[in-house]
Chain A
Amino acid sequence: MSREYATNDWYPVADAARMIPGHGFTTRLLGEPLEVSGSFENPVVTARDGRMLPVQVRYGHVWTTTGSAPRPLFDIAEADETDRTFVPCGAVQVRCSPLRAVENFLDIAHFPFVHTGILGEEPHTQVAPYKVEIREDADEVWATQIGFHQPQAAKSATEAIETRYEYRVPAPTTAVLYKTCPPKPEAWDVIAIFVQPVAEDMCIAWPWMALYDDVSPYADLVQFQQEIFLQDRSILENQKPTLLPLDPRMEIPTRCDLTSVVYRRWLKRKGATYGALTTAA
């Protein structure tokens, strides 16, 4: 339940669409209210005690942190590739732990049942072995060599393909997916979920994409990702307990859950337990 670790990470609190000059708004971060105002280029984030918090604008979002010794915001190199289409997908509020939202994003075995006909389909349910590691130098979780049969892997996909995936967890509340790009096989599409921890049991997810797709209308790209994430929302709000259990006896994993197992272990080791249940209930 530690807030201490969490306060020194950066979190998204707005995208460009939310930042309307003259129309500041209130949001919440780690259980505390924040005032967001200014413009997308020059945002101002104020804590309840009137303190102006540090801000930076990256990856289509306004980021802030409340801690006294913030760790640097992770780097997504593809954000600087100007021939990509950058797609912020808005904010979706979910009554679940921010960590549950990230863990679900790292999971592929649910595709045939939750994203039926898009990211998965029976009888193609099998998850082949893949590799997961904690990259100690960067302090990140990486899952690589993942493959899965997908009926419609992206808006740009015209037929079912065997999609390749790599997952990266650069911070406890962020997951980045590198995925086969149907029109440009030598490159990866980048799909990230930036999670704003509103409280331990409530979060706002800000999906964001950096794609190679010159064909699909922009609105189609946004809706493709929103459709996927909102399918997950109805799962996330029905997982009990609401917090993510770190005691391995509380939820039994199987082989395909290796990313989740390592993610939970990594959180526990770091003490990144805001939104987690650290003892068996």
Chain B
Amino acid sequence: MTSVAVGLSRDLAAKRVMRAEVQGYDIAVWRDENGGLHAWNNRCPHRGMRLSHGFVRDGHLACLYHGWHFRKDGGCAYIPAHPELEPPETISATVFSITENAGVIWVSATDTAKAPAEDGEWEPLRSLSFACPPEKVRHAIENTPFAGQLPERAASGHLTAGSTALLVHCAPLGDAETLAHLLVAAGTSLAGRKALSRWCETARESAEAGPA
């Protein structure tokens, strides 16, 4: 699996930009006004500014520093300092592959992004950061009791906590952090979702305790 889960679909609305890390690349992830997703190398080709600080306007992602606009294919569409200038074709953001399925956004920096097929209906719970590597996160999640009982582990990333099916995707963020993206079976009550949110915070406490 070369694709990395970078966030929950719910948390990136139209016209929003966020930063992610995929296979060592700093990535700007943005959603256009039609809901389409884009993942680019997080560097404006002009002066290296992180595009994740930019803004979406007229179907383009624009850099915060000088307002250069980039089309969905990455090509530079507009340079505000020279409004009459047709930007050369050579000015382009580096585009990576992105997809989403079952409420999760996936990016690959090396080939075509693929989302795992998921049976059943899922609803987003939350993305939670852990100050430890993914292995420790997985271990803690599988070994933190929910309502007095250890979760049952099914297929990769699939758990059942209490009577609720959970889906967990972990991805490293920098050298020392992990983002865990959690989803719950559709129809889980608000009280149930809040309880699971508390439970994954407890799992974080134990994951971060002890040697790194």
A residues near B (Cβ < 8 Å) are 107, 109-110, 112-114, 122, 125-127, 234-235, 238-241, 245, 250-256
Q: In the complex, what residue of chain A is closest to B63 when comparing beta carbons?
A: A113
Please state if B80 and A245 are interface contacts (CB–CB under 8 Å). no
- Select which of A107, A125, A252 is within 8 A of B45 by beta carbon: A252
Complex Cα spacing A239 to B79, Å: 18
Residues of B within 8 A of A239 (CB): 47-50, 65
Complex Cα spacing A154 to B43, Å: 32
Q: In the complex, what residue of chain A is closest to B47 when comparing beta carbons?
A: A251
Please state if B81 and A254 are interface contacts (CB–CB under 8 Å). yes
Interface hit among B6-14, B82-90, B130-138, B186-194: B82-90
Is the C-beta of B46 less than 8 angstroms from some C-beta in chain A?
yes
Please state if A125 and B65 are interface contacts (CB–CB under 8 Å). no
Given contacts A240-B43, A241-B48, contact A255 B67 (CB under 8 A): no
With A251-B45, A251-B46, A253-B46 known, 13 other A-B pairs at CB within 8 A are A110-B65, A114-B64, A125-B83, A127-B82, A235-B49, A235-B64, A238-B49, A238-B53, A240-B48, A252-B91, A254-B85, A254-B87, A256-B81
Main secondary structure of the interface of B (DSSP, over half): loop
Within 8 A of A (CB), among B44-63: 45-50, 53
Query: Nearest-CB distance from A209 to chain B (Å)?
Result: 24
Please state if B42 and A240 are interface contacts (CB–CB under 8 Å). yes
Residues of A within 8 A of B48 (CB): 239-241, 245, 250-251
Query: Nearest-CB distance from B49 to chain A (Å)?
Result: 6
Complex Cα spacing A255 to B46, Å: 12
